[in-house]
Chain A
Amino acid sequence: MKRLVKKHPLAIRWFHWINFPLLALMIWSGTLIYWANAVYRVGFRKHTFWMMNLPPHAWDKLHVSYRLAEGMAYHFFFMWLFAINGVLYVAYTVFSGEWRELVPNRRSFITAIQVTLHDLHLRREAPPQGKYNGAQQIAYSSIVVMGLGSLLTGIAIYKPTQFHLLTSLFGGYPMARFFHFWLTVGYVAFFVIHIAQVIRTGWNNFRAMVIGSEVVEVPNE
């Protein structure tokens, strides 16, 4: 028979759904800024496999060209909301004890491999799990560390004189900008995998992020 089981506390759901548009706006405005100096590449020494750039007509088509000023203004507007939401989320997970479900433990790394093999249809059984499996724990904790990284590299390139020690810690201004950019690419990668996994897992799981509870089948009494 069916039972409704509480999964995501109300606060977590709010943090999640507020973060989604804010992160999207930060990435979008960041792209408007990046356009002005789109220099990064995937390569090894002199060999470039992929330039992180687009031809001008493609930038134009995406309405990104010549919007540096606007991009900065939006970035420095929404950075506050993005950072505050992130800090509140972390504070909530700490004080509610929710972090116990999220932070990887000794077994997470093994089960994460097992989960990945299962997802790739290379392993028959999924390993037993609590609210989150090992792969999820690693992914959801990494994204928080990445968020902190974006915040710190962001400060390092936003105020490189007043926070020059922080800037130096990241290897200087150009390196801090480099890390800030690649962390953003990391969010996009996370987003793609996250969406694919949510679709694969199904409606019941997705709905739990909206209503909080999940329907589970329990043995009949």
Chain B
Amino acid sequence: MSETPHEEPVGVPEPVIHEPTPEEIEAARIAAIEANDKDVAEQLRRMSRRGFLTLGAGAVAAIGAWKWLGSREREGGLPWPLRRMLHVNEAVALSYFSTARLNPTFPASMITRPARINGGDGLDAHADVASWRLNFAGNALTLDDVKSFPKRTMITEFRCIEGWSTIVQWGGARLSDVMAKFPPPSSARYLAMSTPGGGYYVSIDMPSAMHAQTLLAYEMNGAPLTWQHGAPLRLAIPVKYGVKNIKRIGQIAYTAVRPPDFWGERGYDDYAGH
């Protein structure tokens, strides 16, 4: 093994290594912490500015949207976007609606007694029931004509749009049976029903009219209807809210377009279906 000559650099002075004092180390450490905290504070300011500006802009946009919604032109007593949404909801509901899907029925012991009386629009305590006729799509029917259809009875839940509900026994003819005798034209999509004189009126969509539990009822809880409950003939339609169970029906007509609806004109959903 040969020794390799090791040449020392000539003329370069030894680097002077300065040993930091403990005070200097501590000062540098504190400076680093302060620099870090300053960085964090700066970053925090940036993030806060962005975050709170976004939140503020969102709040302003939400309030704007809210004001816009409430101030739209009214359709049937509602700002039109709300009315349109009710119609969208109706389309969704009709997409899964089945005339075969029935309301639960209840034992006679559960019937609410006395039956609750609610809503007197279109009623008349002094109306002459004997001279009453039902104008069914242009045909004048007596009560006996309606009674000539097979009688159906059912004990179902009557649900008011206000939120309460009662159990009622109904007796009457299936609307679909009567419709089979006086069939609708192919263009018909609704039934327009009103009291004699038109004090109260409802629209009923075709699928709901065809439902097996939709009756032209002349009996309630086993007795003929009283005038407060819509004598001599009313609609019992448990697939809809109580508002659609029109009392004292005078006319029923088939229509192609959505007919006027008493509560539908006053801000309510004119489908009102269950």
Contact = CB atoms under 8 A, between A and B. Distances in A.
B93 A70 contact: no
Interface in A46-78: 68-70, 72-74, 76-77
Given A212-B51, A215-B44, A1 B33 contact: yes
A96 interface: no
A197 interface: no
Contacts, number: 110
A80 B81 CA distance: 14
B68 to A, nearest CB: 13
Nearest to B79: A73
A213 B86 CA distance: 41
B29 interface: yes
A73 B267 contact: yes
Contacts of B266: 69
Interface stretch (B3-11, B95-103, B193-201): B95-103
B274 interface: yes
A33 B47 contact: no
B269 A1 contact: no
A4 B48 contact: no
B144 interface: no
Given A162-B96, A164-B103, A210-B55, A77 B81 contact: yes
Interface string B50-61: 111001001000
Given A69-B77, A73-B82, A220-B29, A160 B98 contact: no
B40 A215 contact: yes
A69 B241 CA distance: 13
Interface of B: 29, 32-33, 36-37, 40-41, 43-44, 47-48, 50-52, 55, 58, 62, 77-78, 81-83, 85-86, 89, 93, 96-98, 101-104, 157, 159-165, 238-239, 263, 266-269, 273-274
Q: Which of A17, A160, A168, A215 has the most CB of B within 10 A?
A: A160
A167 B78 CA distance: 29
Contacts of A177: 163
B238 A161 contact: yes
Nearest to B62: A21
A168 B83 contact: no
Contacts of A34: 163
